[in-house]
């Protein structure tokens, strides 16, 4: 059992003013593995004041100094890789091999990218008699996601600090342990007191205090649309800048001349990442109507190959969802698909056989249409729907017929045609023929998927303002 009693403010571990704690539950075992402080608005106030004091000096640090700090932070994180992997596995139940590659090594990679991309930013540009500068936005409030807990911290707090901002961070309450580790690693790397501050707690208590605090100049949230709307509402009182990464219902367009079997299998794997708990997962698979039966057969076979169980067992390839409430919500979506008369090809709402504990959900595939509930709403679980289309224009129409606009996939035989199709999709990211993600690119979307971008140089620039100096 891990017991965290303190929060991190002004470079020191100090007691929270909150009188209660929040339990951390291992979703694979349903056991309590840790307790963390349930922070308060008073904690946020202390953190914001510390960050405000630290900003004056930190914002003027030479870029070379910040690059060196992030190089050190990457190496500190690398040294603690095994511990980070164990922690994330215990918090989220993801298979250990997947965590080591995607979450832990991915976090180190993103820190290295921040250090590299700091060299690429144009900090000043001469326009006639005016020098246009890029300057830090100020104190940033970060509200991070639980599904990639350490990487989400790096995308927000890391990029903001690289830009010269100071940070007040609320780690995700259901998976907060890596936020404590990040505070320790930041201190070890030499990030000055007050530049990074950690207050853990719930959204209504700590998150709302961050969004409304007058000393916090900008808020960056990864979360639900409902949470994003609330942050925008609260931030508007002090006219804060708001960056939101919210969610998606992403389409995977597979055309007849694609490597069809590979496309379907890759699409299922993409949708099932993190047990389907990923905002950019390709959860709507669009296929030519004449190839629908083939796609259904391939998807059905693929989804039955996942092995659910102990995340520390090398044979396990799919973990549980994060909480008991999430399990019931996802199963509710599966039932709704059945009630709407969709054809369920694999999976179902019942508990997986042989798993008497843990928040496990069967990976489930439906064949349906783009108007059904499970094609319209973000489920955040291992559920995918296959939708037929009639021609290229129809496929693009269906893909764009969504309240979200985060990601998409395009599979076809000609790369130029795929790029032309991508240009017609109202989404922030398109993968062509299964191309791997490039974290030096951008992550973020259109419509209800949010405002702003993360990753690479663009993610750092999200935390910069323009200033003109004339004469």
CB of 409 within 8 A of CB of 267? yes
Active-site residue, from 173, 205, 208, 245: 245
Instruction: Show the CA angle centred on residue 171, arms to residues 207 and 93, nearest 5°.
Output: 130
Active-site residue, from 91, 279, 296, 454: 279
According to DSSP, the residues that pair with 36 across neighbouring strands are 22
Q: How far is CA 438 from CA 106, 113, 147, 389, in A?
A: 11, 11, 19, 29
CB of 178 within 8 A of CB of 150? yes
According to DSSP, the residues that pair with 60 across neighbouring strands are none
Residue 373 in tokens: 């509930």
The Cα 168–Cα 144 span in angstroms is: 11
Handedness of CA 77, 82, 85, 89 (dihedral sign): negative
From the list 10, 65, 44, the residue with the least C-alpha distance to 192 is 10
Question: Measured between alpha carbons, how far apart are the two ends of the chain, in Å?
Answer: 62
The Cα 216–Cα 233 span in angstroms is: 15
Write out the DSSP string of 103-138: IIIHHHHHHHHHHHHHTT---EEEETTEEEEEEE--
Helices (H), 236-279: 260-272
Pairing, β 124-127 against β 450-451? unpaired
The Cα 426–Cα 94 span in angstroms is: 31
200 annotated active-site: no
What DSSP state is assigned to residue 430? E
Residue 450 in tokens: 């949010």
Pairing, β 31-37 against β 251-254? unpaired
CB of 450 within 8 A of CB of 246? yes
117 annotated active-site: no
Residue 418: φ, ψ to 5°: -60, -40
Contacting residues for 323 by C-beta, under 8 A, at least 6 apart: 25, 27, 174, 359
Q: What number of residues does the chain have?
A: 471
CB of 228 within 8 A of CB of 450? yes
Known catalytic residues?
245, 279
């Amino acid at each position: 059992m891990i017991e965290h009693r303190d929060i991190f403010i002004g470079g020191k571990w100090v007691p929270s003013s909150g009188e209660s704690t929040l339990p951390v539950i291992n979703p694979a075992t349903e056991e309590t593995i840790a307790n963390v402080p349930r922070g308060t608005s008073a904690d946020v106030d202390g953190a914001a004041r510390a960050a405000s004091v630290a900003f004056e000096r930190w914002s003027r640090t030479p870029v070379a100094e910040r690059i060196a700090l992030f190089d050190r932070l990457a190496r500190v994180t690398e040294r603690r890789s095994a511990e980070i992997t164990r922690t994330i596995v215990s918090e989220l139940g993801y298979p250990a091999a997947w965590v080591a590659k995607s979450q832990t090594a991915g976090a180190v990679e993103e820190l290295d990218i921040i250090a590299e991309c700091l060299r690429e930013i144009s900090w000043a540009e001469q326009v006639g008699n005016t020098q246009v500068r890029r300057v830090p936005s100020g104190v940033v409030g970060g509200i991070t996601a639980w599904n990639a807990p350490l990487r989400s911290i790096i995308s927000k707090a890391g990029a903001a600090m690289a830009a010269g901002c100071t940070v007040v961070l609320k780690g995700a309450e259901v998976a907060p342990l890596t936020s404590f580790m990040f505070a320790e690693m930041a201190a070890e790397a030499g990030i000055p007191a007050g530049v990074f501050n950690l207050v853990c707690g719930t959204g209504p208590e700590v998150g709302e205090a961050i969004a409304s605090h007058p000393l916090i100049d900008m808020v960056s949230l990864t979360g639900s649309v409902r949470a994003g709307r609330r942050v925008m509402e609260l931030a508007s009182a002090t006219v804060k800048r708001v960056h939101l990464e919210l969610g998606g219902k992403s389409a995977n367009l597979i055309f007849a001349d694609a490597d069809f079997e590979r496309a379907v299998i890759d699409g299922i794997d993409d949708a099932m990442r993190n047990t389907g708990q990923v905002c950019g997962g390709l959860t709507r698979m669009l296929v030519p109507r004449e190839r629908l039966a083939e796609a259904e057969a391939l998807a059905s076979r693929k989804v039955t190959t996942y092995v659910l169980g102990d995340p520390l067992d090398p044979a396990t390839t799919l973990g549980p969802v994060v909480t008991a409430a999430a399990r019931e919500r996802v199963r509710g979506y599966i039932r709704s698909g059945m009630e709407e008369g969709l054809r369920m090809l694999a999976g179902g709402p019942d508990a997986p056989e042989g798993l008497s504990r843990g928040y496990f959900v069967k990976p489930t595939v439906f064949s349906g249409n783009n108007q059904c509930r499970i094609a319209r709403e973000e489920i955040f679980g291992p559920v995918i729907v296959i939708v037929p289309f009639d021609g290229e224009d129809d496929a693009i129409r269906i893909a764009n017929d969504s309240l979200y606009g985060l990601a998409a996939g395009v599979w076809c035989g000609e790369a130029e045609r795929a790029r032309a199709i991508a240009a017609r999709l109202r989404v922030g990211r398109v993968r062509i023929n299964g191309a791997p993600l490039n974290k030096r690119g951008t992550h973020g979307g259109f419509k209800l998927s949010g405002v702003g971008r993360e990753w690479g140089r663009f993610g750092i620039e999200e935390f910069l303002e323009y200033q003109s100096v004339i004469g």
